[in-house]
Chain A
Amino acid sequence: LAKTTQPISMDSYEGQEVNITCSHNNIATNDYITWYQQFPSQGPRFIIQGYKTKVTNEVASLFIPADRKSSTLSLPRVSLSDTAVYYCLVGDGEDTGRRALTFGSGTRLQVQP
Chain B
Amino acid sequence: IAGITQAPTSQILAAGRRMTLRCTQDMRHNAMYWYRQDLGLGLRLIHYSNTAGTTGKGEVPDGYSVSRANTDDFPLTLASAVPSQTSVYFCASSTADSTDTQYFGPGTRLTVL
Contacts and interface: CB of A to CB of B under 8 A. Distances in A.
A91 B42 contact: no
Interface of A: prevailing SS: loop
Contacts, number: 60
B56 A97 contact: yes
B8 to A, nearest CB: 15
Interface of B: 31, 33, 35, 41-45, 48, 50, 56, 58-59, 88, 90, 92, 94, 96, 98-107
18 contacts: A30-B98, A32-B99, A34-B99, A34-B101, A36-B102, A42-B106, A43-B104, A43-B105, A44-B90, A49-B99, A97-B50, A97-B56, A99-B33, A99-B50, A99-B96, A101-B33, A102-B45, A103-B42
Interface of A: 30, 32, 34, 36, 41-46, 49, 87, 91, 97-106
